[in-house]
C-alpha cells in the first residue's frame, strides 16, 4: 500500500491514527500516556464518529456523562455517525435524566435502541416486548454493558426498576446481582466527593496527602465501630466516617476522653496541635491520653507534621514520634513517610509522618 504524504492526511485520518495508538497504550496498561493523546485527538478531529464513540464509551465507563455528551454532539451534528452514535447519545441522555431526548433517539429497531426503551419502560413501571434476533447470551451481554455504564454514572436506580418490572429476560437476576458491587462503589464515590469538598472548604491550607490518609483510615473502620476522631480539623473529616459510631473532639475540648472505649482512634496532626492548642500537651502526654481511650486490641492511627512540611506547625522527626509512642505505652505497628501530595518519601524529607499503633497490655 503506497504511503500517504502529509498533505494526504485529513484531520479525521490523524484523529483515527491517534485513536489506534491510544488503544494500544490502553491495552499495554499505560492509561496515563493515553489520556493526553486522546484529548489532543478529540481537538484535532472533533466529531469523527469512531473517535467520538470511543471517547464517549470511556467517559461513560468512568462515570462522566457530561464528557460523553461533549464528545457525541459534534458527531451527531455531522450526521454520519450511524446507529452507534445515536444510541450512545441516547444512553448518555438517560444517564443525565434527559428523558425527552432519550425517547426521541431510540425509535429504531437496533438491539441497543430496544434495550434502552426497555430501561425507560421499567423506569416508568411499564413493560415492553423485545423483538431481538439475538441469542439470550448476546442480549444479556449487551444489557450488562449498558447497565454497567449507567450505574457508573449514578443511575443505580435503574437496577431496582428492572428488578421490580417482572421481566422474564434470561440472566436478568444474575446481571443485577453482579452489578451490586459497582452500585456500592458509586455510592462510596459520592460520599468521598462530598467529604473532600467539605474538607477543602473547612481546611483549604491542609496538604492533600492528609485527606488521602484520612480516607484510607476511614475505609478500615467497620460499620458501627466505636471511633474517635481527635485532632486538628477533626470535624472536617467527619463525613468520611458516617458508617461508624463516631465521636468527634477538637483538642481544645475540655471534656476528658472516655477510658477504654474506642476501637479506632484517628488523630490528624494531633502532636503539633497538642503543643500549641492543648495547654502544652507534649507528644508523650498526647499519646498517653489517646492510649487510655483505646480498647485493648484497638488501633490508633496518627498523622504528624514531618520535618519537610512548610505549614506553620511544630514539626517532628520520625525518631521523636517513635520515642513518644514507646514512652506512652503504645506498640508501634507501622510507620510511613509521605510528601504533602501523599507520595512515599524518605523520613528526613517527609511532610507527613503516619503512625499506626496499638495498646500495650503492660
Tell me, what's the pLDDT at 110?
81
Cell numbers given for 267 = 488523630
Is the C-alpha dihedral spanning 132, 138, 140, 144 positive or negative?
Answer: negative
Quote the CA–CA distance of 163 and 182 in Å, as a whole number. 16
Return phi, psi of residue 126, to 5°.
-110, 170
Tell me, what's the pLDDT at 114?
86
Quote the CA–CA distance of 100 and 80 in Å, as a whole number. 23
Quote the CA–CA distance of 169 and 175 in Å, as a whole number. 10
Tell me, what's the pLDDT at 25?
62
Strand-pair category, 226-230 with 245-249: parallel
pLDDT over 70 at 214, yes or no? yes
Tell me, what's the pLDDT at 323?
95
Highest mean pLDDT among 75-89, 121-135, 167-181: 75-89
Strand-pair category, 294-305 with 352-359: antiparallel
Cα 332 from chain centre: 30
- 349 Cβ contact partners less than 8 Å away, ≥ 6 residues apart: 306, 307, 308, 337, 339
Pair 338, 350: CB distance under 8 Å: yes
pLDDT over 80 at 346, yes or no? yes
Tell me, what's the pLDDT at 319?
94
Quote the CA–CA distance of 221 and 243 in Å, as a whole number. 8
pLDDT over 80 at 44, yes or no? no
- 90 Cβ contact partners less than 8 Å away, ≥ 6 residues apart: 101, 102, 105, 106, 112, 113, 116
pLDDT over 80 at 224, yes or no? yes
Confidence of residue 209 (pLDDT cuts 50, 70, 90): confident
Is the C-alpha dihedral spanning 64, 46, 145, 162 positive or negative?
Answer: positive
Highest mean pLDDT among 43-52, 74-83, 173-182, 225-234: 225-234
Quote the CA–CA distance of 47 and 260 in Å, as a whole number. 63
Confidence of residue 34 (pLDDT cuts 50, 70, 90): low
In angstroms, the Cα distances linking 157 to 119, 136, 151, 153 are: 11, 24, 8, 11
- 105 Cβ contact partners less than 8 Å away, ≥ 6 residues apart: 86, 87, 89, 90, 93
Tell me, what's the pLDDT at 348?
93
Mean pLDDT score of the chain: 80
The whole-number average pLDDT for the span 217-232 is 85
Quote the CA–CA distance of 223 and 333 in Å, as a whole number. 23
- What is the tens place of the pLDDT at every residue in 47-57? 788 888 888 88
* Between 76 and 45, residue with greater pLDDT: 76
Tell me, what's the pLDDT at 274?
61
- What is the tens place of the pLDDT at every residue in 158-175? 888 887 777 767 677 777
- What is the tens place of the pLDDT at every residue in 259-309? 999 999 999 888 876 666 545 678 998 899 999 999 988 999 999 989 988
Tell me, what's the pLDDT at 157?
82
- What is the tens place of the pLDDT at every residue in 5-27? 444 556 666 666 766 776 776 66
Tell me, what's the pLDDT at 187?
55
Cell numbers given for 180 = 451490586
pLDDT over 80 at 189, yes or no? no
Cα 318 from chain centre: 31
* Between 336 and 243, residue with greater pLDDT: 336
The whole-number average pLDDT for the span 317-326 is 94
Tell me, what's the pLDDT at 362?
53
Tell me, what's the pLDDT at 6?
45
The whole-number average pLDDT for the span 96-111 is 84
Helix (H, G, I), strand (E, B) or coil at 242: coil
The DSSP annotation for 159-179 comes to: HHHHHTTT---TTHHHHHHHT
What is the pTM for the complete model shown? 0.51
Poorest-pLDDT segment among 100-109, 184-193, 254-263? 184-193
Residue with cell 468520611: 240
Tell me, what's the pLDDT at 357?
94
Confidence of residue 128 (pLDDT cuts 50, 70, 90): low
Helix (H, G, I), strand (E, B) or coil at 249: strand
Amino acid at each position: 500500500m503506497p504511503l500517504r504524504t502529509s498533505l494526504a492526511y485529513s484531520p479525521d485520518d490523524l484523529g483515527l491514527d491517534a485513536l489506534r495508538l491510544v488503544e494500544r497504550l490502553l491495552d499495554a496498561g499505560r492509561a496515563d500516556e493515553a489520556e493526553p493523546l486522546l484529548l489532543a485527538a478529540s481537538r484535532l478531529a472533533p466529531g469523527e464518529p469512531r473517535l467520538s464513540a470511543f471517547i464517549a464509551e470511556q467517559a461513560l465507563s468512568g462515570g462522566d456523562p457530561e464528557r460523553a455528551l461533549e464528545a457525541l454532539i459534534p458527531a451527531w451534528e455531522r450526521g454520519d455517525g450511524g446507529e452507534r452514535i445515536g444510541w450512545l447519545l441516547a444512553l448518555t441522555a438517560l444517564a443525565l435524566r434527559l428523558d425527552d431526548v432519550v425517547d426521541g433517539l431510540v425509535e429504531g429497531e437496533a438491539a441497543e435502541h430496544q434495550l434502552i426503551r426497555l430501561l425507560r419502560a421499567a423506569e416508568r413501571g411499564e413493560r415492553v416486548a423485545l423483538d431481538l434476533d439475538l441469542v439470550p447470551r448476546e442480549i444479556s451481554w449487551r444489557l450488562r454493558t449498558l447497565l454497567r455504564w449507567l450505574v457508573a454514572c449514578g443511575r443505580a436506580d435503574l437496577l431496582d426498576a428492572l428488578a421490580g418490572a417482572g421481566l422474564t429476560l434470561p440472566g436478568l437476576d444474575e446481571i443485577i446481582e453482579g452489578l451490586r458491587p459497582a452500585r456500592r462503589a458509586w455510592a462510596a464515590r459520592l460520599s468521598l466527593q462530598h467529604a473532600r469538598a467539605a474538607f477543602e472548604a473547612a481546611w483549604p491550607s491542609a496538604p492533600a496527602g492528609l485527606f488521602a490518609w484520612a480516607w484510607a483510615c476511614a475505609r478500615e473502620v467497620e460499620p458501627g465501630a466505636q471511633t474517635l476522631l481527635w485532632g486538628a480539623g477533626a470535624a472536617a473529616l467527619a463525613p468520611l466516617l458516617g458508617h461508624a459510631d463516631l465521636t468527634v473532639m477538637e483538642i481544645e475540648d475540655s471534656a476528658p476522653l472516655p477510658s477504654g472505649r474506642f476501637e479506632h482512634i484517628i488523630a490528624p496532626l494531633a502532636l503539633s496541635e497538642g503543643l500549641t492548642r492543648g495547654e502544652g500537651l507534649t507528644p508523650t502526654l498526647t499519646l498517653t491520653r489517646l492510649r487510655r481511650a483505646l480498647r485493648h486490641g484497638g488501633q490508633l492511627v496518627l498523622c504528624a507534621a514531618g520535618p519537610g512540611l512548610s505549614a506553620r506547625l511544630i514539626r517532628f522527626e520520625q525518631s521523636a514520634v517513635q520515642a513518644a509512642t514507646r514512652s506512652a505505652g503504645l506498640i508501634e505497628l507501622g510507620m510511613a513517610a509521605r510528601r504533602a501530595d501523599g507520595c512515599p518519601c524518605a523520613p528526613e524529607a517527609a511532610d507527613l509522618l503516619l503512625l499506626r499503633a496499638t495498646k500495650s497490655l503492660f
